[in-house]
Each structure stands twice: as C-alpha cells, then as structure tokens.
Structure 1
Amino acid sequence: MSAEEKRAWIYAVVAVGVSAVYFVTVLSQVPGADVAQIAYVRPMLTAIGAGIALGIVASIAAAVVSPREADRTDERDRQIHRLGEYVGFYVMSIAAIVPLALTMAGVAHFWIANTLYLAFVLAALASSIVKIVSYRRGI
C-alpha cells in the first residue's frame, strides 16, 4: 500500500469517526429541545480541530512506520489525488445547496451549520473513497 493510499484511508477513517462522535453528541439533544438552545458551536469547532489534529498525527505515524514510502509519489498518485479532489469538489458543490436553501428559508442556524458540516464530511469521504477505489482497482 502506497503512502498516498494510507493517507486516503486515514482521511476517511478520521472523517467518519470524528463526525460520528460529533453528530451523536449533538443530535442526541434535539428530541424535545429548542434547537436554538443547543450548544453546538464549541463541539463543532472541537470536532473540526480534532479531525485536523488526528489526521496529521496519523499521517506522521504512518510515515514513521514506513519512512521509505513517505515522500514517494509518482504520476499515478497525482492522477488519483486529482480525481479524488475533483469528486470531493463536486460532492461539496452539490451538498452545499442544502444549507443554502435552509438559509433562504430562514431555518435555525443550528440546522444550517450542521448541514454545512455534513457537506464537508461527505465531500471528504467521497474524495477518500474515490482515491481508495482508484488505488485498489486502478484508474
């Protein structure tokens, strides 16, 4: 497994894990509550920061375990990265329509912020999945 494929796996696992903890924590407060009173900002910022930190630490750990591969990239790696980023961009572009529509409808900030965060998570996950599949099956 190349270093770039390992990074794609790390990105996918971190995106799913951190966002799942965030959504379970915050959305469990929704039933029977006024969403305007739910404190979601600090947990969301914590989730974003934790995702970034975990991704960096895990990537460094993967590079330490396999130091020879850490900086090796070839044309195939660049093509796969480009394809994954394109797919992630399009997923984000489409998914961002939901928070935009919610904003125009005057929905509570809680729902707008959480759908925007979900859009970022879906884009990261789609990008990682495309990269992993491309490494496994070829492009």
Structure 2
Amino acid sequence: MSYEEKGTWILLTIAVGGYVVYLFLVLPQLLAGTPVEEVDWVTPMLWTIGGAIVAGIVGRILVEIVSPSESTRGDVRDKEIDRLGERVGGSFVVIGGVGALILAMLDVDTFWIANALYLGFVLSGVLSGVTKLIAYRRGVPAW
C-alpha cells in the first residue's frame, strides 16, 4: 500500500470518527429537549476539529512507524487519484456552503448554519476518501 493510500485510510477514518464523537457530544442535548439556542455546540465542534487535526498527524506518524512506506513521494498515479478524489469531494463543500447560505438567508439559528457547514466538510472528506480508495483499487477512470 502506498504512502498516499495509507494517508487516505487514516483521514477517512478520522473524518468519520471525529464527526461521530461530535454527534455523541451534541445530540443528547437536542434529544433531551434543550432549546437549540442553549445547546453547547461550539466547544465540542472546536475540540473535534482540533482533535482530528492532531489525530491525523499522529496517525500518519504511527502508521509509518509500524508499516514504513518505501517512499513518501507520490507518483503520477497518486496525483491523478488525489485530483479525482478532491474534485468529487469538493462538491460537498459547495453543497454545505450553499446550504449554510440558504439557512442564513432564512435567519435560522447559528447552530444549524455551523452544523450544515461542518456536515458539508465531513461529507466532502468521506466522499473524497472513498473515491480515492476506489481509484486505488480499480484505477482512475479514463473519461
């Protein structure tokens, strides 16, 4: 497995795991009937995003210690796969941004706007990662 593919697995796992942790911290407040304006979401969001960044760095280091790659330099195939994955995943950044913009226009609570953006980023990372992993297994499609 190439260095880039290992990194994709790590980031995909962290994107899903970090969002699950965020939901685990915030959803109980909503389900308990706490008004949206009083839900403590800022601190959990900041900690899960910061934790994901740290986990990505530490995860990359640990994987390379346990299973060193022959090279950390990507080849042409790695670059094509990365480009494809980022193009596909980028669509959800746009969808999240448009969703947040619409929510702002409707004067919805900041909680929903921030969560629409966060979900867009998470879905972007997941879709990008899945696309890259499929491309590593099946090859880059020739359009």
Aligned-partner Cα distance in 2 for 1:22–1:14: 12
% identity of equivalent residues? 47
Tell whether the 8 Å contact from 1:63 to 1:69 is kept in structure 2 after alignment: no
d(CA) in 1 for partners of 2:97, 2:19: 17
Match of 2:29 in 1: 29
Task: Indicate conservation of the 8 Å contact 1:35/1:108, yes or no.
Answer: yes
CA distance in 1 between partners of 2:100 and 2:71 (Å): 38
CA contact (8 A) 2:2 2:69 kept: no
Q: Could you tell me how far 1:70 is from its partner in structure 2?
A: 4.5
CA contact (8 A) 2:3 2:69 kept: no
Structure-2 residue corresponding to 1:112: 113
Q: Which runs of 5+ in 2 are unaligned?
A: none
TM-score where L is the length of structure 2? 0.92
**1:132 alignment partner AA:** L
Give the superposition deviation at 1:3.
1.2
SS of equivalent residue, structure 2 residue 29: coil
**Alignment match, 2:14:** 14
- 1:40 Cα deviation after fit: 0.8
- 8 Å CA contact 2:5–2:133 kept in 1: the answer is yes
TM-score, normalising length: structure 1 = 0.94
Aligned partner of 2:131 in structure 1 is 130
CA distance in 2, matches of 1:2, 1:138: 14
Note the residue ranges of structure 1 that are not aligned, 5 or more in a row. none
Q: Kindly report which structure 2 residues correspond to 1:1-139, keeping only aligned pairs within 5 A, or say none.
A: 1-31=1-31, 32-139=33-140
Opposite residue 11 of structure 1, the aligned amino acid is: L
* Count of aligned pairs between the two proteins: 139
Deviations 1:29-64 (A, max 9, x none): 113221111111111000000000001110111222
